[in-house]
Structure 1
Amino acid sequence: MTAQKKLHQHPQKETRMCVLTDPDHYSDSCTPEEQVMRADFARAYLLRRELFSASVERQPQLREQISALDVRWTRPDGQVFLEWQHLIDLVTGAVIEAAVLPIQARSYRQAAELVELGPIEGPWR
């Protein structure tokens, strides 16, 4: 692959990642909260992908950003919101199922989009 070809591919992938972290990308969501949750999940996924290749100096900052996103989608009783957990299960391969509800179908599509960018290394938490 030529250097010029590589240069042209990188901006496309970066543009794709930016789109996935934009709540407007999830316009098929039922509520604005769901749109934000999906964009936050995409951000958390991308940060986790970056974490294991990041410098030791950068890792604490990335972990802090990831933690802030996880906390946002954790209920006061300490349980993770159901759809956030469902997305974790989908992208980590913990569950492969047929979508039954519309929100599950949207989660399945989102997980597929994220996994297409590449896997994350290590556990989600």
Structure 2
Amino acid sequence: MKAIVLALALIAGVSAVPQRNFAAGFAKDQRNLIETIIENIVKLVINGIQARGLDPLYVESAEGSYTLFGLEDVFSATGSVSELAFEGSSNIVINEITYNLFGGNINLDFTLPKLSGSAGMFK
């Protein structure tokens, strides 16, 4: 009788020990790696925008024309702008990044909270 109780206690003790799920741990590590890579790419984009002087962007005046495949009869456009101001393009805020290792899906939720632009004249 004591042997049966001892065996049941031993089985219960072994069953109560938490087991590691290596596949879930690997998936979580992989997901965190992908999320970190995406965050770093977004930071590189932000730094690139700022390094090139594109935020804030100010153009005193510009004009141009465009023709579709060099055929003026099909489509052509001309335009000009003065006092163009655009700022906030480097204010990228990442709200959430989710990566599903098994489905291969990446969901990126971000906002540009202080994006603004104006033009003195556009024609």
Instruction: Provide TM-score, normalisation by structure 2.
Output: 0.27
Question: Structure 1-normalised TM-score?
Answer: 0.27
Computing the radius of gyration from Cα coordinates, the structure with the larger value is 2
